[in-house]
Structure 1
Amino acid sequence: MPSLIPIGSADDPRLEPYHAVRERDLVGRRGLFIAEGEVVLRILLSQSRHAPASLLLAEKRAAKLAPLIAGLSPDVPVYVAPQAVMDTVVGFPIHRGILAVARRAEPTDPAGLLAQLPAPALVLALVGIANHDNMAAYSATRPRSASARCCSTPPVAIRSTARPFASRSGRR
């Protein structure tokens, strides 16, 4: 398990990726995205496509998440800060107290995705989605087994706010 790194100041330079979280500042520039909340963090850590770069947790959440982060590589820093410091860093009250910065995987060719599916399989292709809230609504309402894979066209994935594990963190 990685050791928890206490943070006492919003000015700590190690928290630079979390300052004034604005998704548009991360997407497409450095190949990073922000994941917010316990459910989204569980999904991020349970898959291998997108790699976590660091975690920022409110002190009150660290103990409960210990079993989840136990499997993280020791190379992934896990920062723990008081709620007030976290709110200052992010730029708004971050009630969930759980953020992660992750590296976006290279886009997958749709033919490659389809080749990995068992037969028969139900596939839903969403084209032209420009608002990540639409993707989040789809993800939250579909039965887990309803579609095995979901992909979007490259223009959406590259040029919009669409992102893996979409959440409502950040300002637009």
Structure 2
Amino acid sequence: MAKKNLKYYIPGAIALVFGIAAFCMMFLEAVKYTADLLITETSYSYTGMQIAFGYKETMGSGALSVQTTILNFNFLALLAFLLPVIGGVLALVFKNGLITKIVTTACFVAGAVLIFSIVGYAGMGMSDAQKALVENLTPTLCAGPIVGGILSALGAFVCLFKGTIAKAIK
């Protein structure tokens, strides 16, 4: 009898793995600002972690060092990477019900939408000097959020069809 009940936790565990994998994409490059000048190419890239929690750079050394804030804390970026994990934990902990299915799927879908749109709100946390610096540069979505968004969409699919997947497992 315990083996029969165990199969109902497998889709939730799969959803949690997708959520954790989507969260791990936070550590990869998320947004890249580039400009192709005549002589050289200029680019600035930031990881999802830097966009979510902020980023400071120290210029100079010793007594002449100056710490400059490049990015401030960005709640939307943090929420984008946390929602898939929250959806995965809820999918694992709670049984298959209509409300659980809606909430877990919504967590994954909202996380995927926020991850894919990270370029749009990455500038919200920038300092004024950094905004002026990247104003004329072209922002690009990098591989980390693309993979994270796809993993989050797969997690939403697993949560939506959690009961069907559990019944298909023998």
- Tell me the TM-score normalised to structure 1 length: 0.21
- Tell me the TM-score normalised to structure 2 length: 0.22
